[in-house]
Amino acid sequence: MAKLRIALAGLGRMGRAVFDEAMASTDFEIVAGVDSNNPGLAGLAYFQPQDLEQALAGCDLVIDFSSPEFAVQVAETAARLGKNFLIGTTAIPAEGMQRIEQAARDGNVSGMVAANFSVGVAAFFVVAQQAARLLASYDAEIVEAHHGAKRDAPSGTALRLAAAVRAQRPQGGGPKLHSIRAGQIVGEHSILFAGNNEVIEIRHSAISRQCFAAGCLACARWLAGRKDGRLHSVQDAIGT
């Protein structure tokens, strides 16, 4: 199988984790990195954001962990060039999401937008939704914790979890969300269901960002070769 050539937009914590995971694999090649700051990653062809189109010219697919504004530009540029895209940036507003979806349609490319690429989180969602349906009369609370530098709160994963739980219990009301930003916490999400005489808690903790990076690259491989003008989810890729 030929190596999948990837361009990385955004070389912060997650971008670097994807770079490290890809470099340790024989299945991927990082052909370009785009960021306003050069992280000095060995073997990476570095481009400034204004050179985005040039950076994407030699890739099969682009992975974005940049900013809500730039992620939309990445998707639109990738689609115009006929490249599939995978967006991991969170807090993209509704208007931006509409533009990303339109870009995929207009370019007849396949895209994916996800707040979390962990396979464990995908399983966590399945269990949490089943619990929400079975425990519709219980109070529900979601707690999420991340490192102190994370900009958005609640996290995209927590917001999506709340929506998924709410859909399972329309009469029970939505869960309350609580956010913690402290230290170097990679990512923790828990949902608590409290009845009169018992409490059930479901929890996912990321030990390192490599769980997200590995899932991201697995989704990239799944997305490669598809050209259907649609946005897909992690659940589509892993079959949950």
Digit-coded pLDDT (tens) for 85-132: 999 999 999 999 999 999 999 999 999 999 999 999 999 999 999 999
List the domain range (segments joined by +) for residue 165: 119-205
Q: Are residues 200 and 227 in the same domain?
A: no
Q: Are residues 16 and 73 in the same domain?
A: yes
% of the chain exceeding 90 in pLDDT: 92
Q: Are residues 110 and 12 in the same domain?
A: yes
Q: Are residues 55 and 161 in the same domain?
A: no
Q: Are residues 181 and 161 in the same domain?
A: yes
Q: What is the pLDDT averaged over residues 74-95?
A: 98
Query: How many CB atoms lie under 10 A from the CB of residue 132?
Result: 23
Task: Please report the pLDDT score of residue 172 as a whole number.
Answer: 67
Q: Are residues 85 and 135 in the same domain?
A: no
pLDDT surpassing 70 at residue 189: yes
* Annotated catalytic residue 227: no
- What's 102's domain CATH number? 3.40.50.720
- What's 172's domain CATH number? 3.30.360.10
Q: Are residues 124 and 111 in the same domain?
A: no
Q: Are residues 112 and 201 in the same domain?
A: no
Q: Are residues 136 and 97 in the same domain?
A: no
Provide the phi-psi class of 56: left if phi over 0, else alpha when psi is between -120 and 50, else beta: alpha
pLDDT surpassing 70 at residue 223: yes
Q: What pTM, to 2 d.p., does this model score?
A: 0.90
Q: What is the pLDDT averaged over residues 210-231?
A: 97
Confidence label for 239 from pLDDT (cuts 50, 70 and 90): confident
Please identify which of the residues 3, 83, 147, 150 carries the catalytic annotation.
150
Q: Are residues 92 and 133 in the same domain?
A: no
Task: Please report the pLDDT score of residue 174 as a whole number.
Answer: 82
Please identify which of the residues 83, 146, 189, 232 carries the catalytic annotation.
146
* Annotated catalytic residue 178: no
Amino acid at residue number 1: M
Q: Are residues 126 and 157 in the same domain?
A: yes
Q: Are residues 158 and 73 in the same domain?
A: no
Domain count along the chain: 2
Confidence label for 9 from pLDDT (cuts 50, 70 and 90): very high
Q: What do you get for the CA distance between the two ends of the chain, in Å?
A: 26
